[in-house]
């Protein structure tokens, strides 16, 4: 199968569907990533804070797939912000992954209360990009005001902003800001897993009757339907699972198309309730985690 590609604002392409390893224990990561690569995924999304970069790299090596055919993305955690610290964080991630060049390197969060550190970290990403050590740079969980502040103090527009997007929390304002800046929106928790594993009070997107009816009309599962919703609206998605059958299911989303009415019906499910932490509440004191050396 030829995987649809999305073109970033620096003309680098990345697969429309990637594989995420958030909350995947290191002991399970190698097998999960191997299963994803065998199913056809060619984009793996990890992060220094996930503590499984080493296992992602091992799975890539075991796969036998040429390194140039796999798009590797990872993230710098807030405790490694600052120009020199972020350059060193790249070295830590690259050594754990066992690769010389990272395809997409992004800042994991904004630090609204210490935005100077955020700018210094992003400036380090710009240096890594200029030096060819990364192919593209970006951000994650940046809100509209964070993007504006970053634009005013740096030179390179982020290629990607990875944010929480699913039918119960669409973040239309941030999606619009990304589009205005020429930034690709990348959806984490794209099938709304965070709505039921972190706070079940809103119910599960997988059990939503609107999504279920649309899925049944296409002979697809609710998860596949939600992923298709993202793709047709131009977002890149990174579903995650450790179950081989679900890993394969989440990749089988290229052979059907939702109607305009079906897309609108899913849009209408937005509750405006965020599942993850409020981006403006992120501080090093509250969320600081030391990222170990390789």
Length of the chain: 294
Q: Taking a C-beta distance cutoff of 8 angstroms, is the pair 37, 59 a contact?
A: yes
**Selected catalytic residue, list 50, 81, 122, 168:** 50
Instruction: List all residues 6 or more positions away from 276 whose beta carbon is below 8 Å from its beta carbon.
Output: 141, 164, 189, 194, 198
Residue 108, annotated as binding a ligand: yes
DSSP 242: S
Cα 60 from Cα 72, distance rounded (Å): 10
Verify whether residue 50 is a known catalytic residue: yes
Tell me the Cα Rg of the chain.
18
Question: Which of these, 254, 214, 252, lies nearest to 232 by C-alpha position?
Answer: 254
Task: State the alpha helices, DSSP H only, in the chain.
Answer: 26-39, 53-63, 83-97, 115-130, 144-153, 172-181, 194-197, 209-218, 222-232, 244-251, 260-267, 284-287
Catalytic residue set: 50
């Amino acid at each position: 199968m030829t995987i649809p590609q999305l073109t970033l604002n620096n003309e680098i392409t990345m697969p429309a569907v990637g594989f995420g390893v958030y909350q995947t224990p290191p002991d399970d990561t190698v097998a999960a990533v191997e299963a994803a690569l065998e199913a056809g995924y060619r984009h793996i999304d990890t992060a220094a804070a996930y503590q499984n970069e080493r296992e992602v790299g091992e799975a890539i090596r075991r796969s036998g797939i040429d390194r140039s055919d796999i798009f590797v993305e990872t993230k710098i955690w807030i405790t490694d912000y600052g120009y020199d610290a972020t350059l060193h964080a790249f070295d830590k991630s690259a050594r754990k992954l066992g690769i010389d060049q990272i395809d997409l390197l992004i800042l994991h969060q904004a630090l609204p209360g210490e935005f100077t550190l955020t700018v210094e970290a992003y400036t380090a990403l710009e240096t890594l990009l200029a030096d060819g050590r990364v192919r593209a740079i970006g951000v994650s969980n940046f809100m509209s005001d964070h993007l504006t502040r970053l634009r005013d103090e740096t030179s390179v527009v982020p290629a990607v902003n990875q944010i929480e997007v699913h039918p119960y929390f669409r973040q239309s304002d941030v999606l619009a800001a990304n589009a205005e800046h020429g930034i690709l929106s990348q959806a984490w928790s794209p099938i709304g897993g965070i709505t039921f594993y972190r706070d079940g009070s809103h119910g599960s997107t997988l059990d939503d009757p609107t999504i279920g009816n649309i899925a049944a009309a296409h002979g697809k599962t609710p998860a596949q339907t939600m992923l298709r919703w993202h793709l047709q609206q131009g977002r890149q998605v990174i579903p995650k699972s450790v179950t081989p059958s679900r890993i394969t299911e989440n990749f089988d989303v290229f052979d059907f198309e939702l109607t305009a009415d079906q897309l609108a019906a899913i849009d209408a499910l937005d509750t405006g309730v965020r599942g993850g932490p409020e981006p403006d509440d992120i501080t090093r004191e509250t969320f600081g985690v030391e990222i170990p050396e390789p």
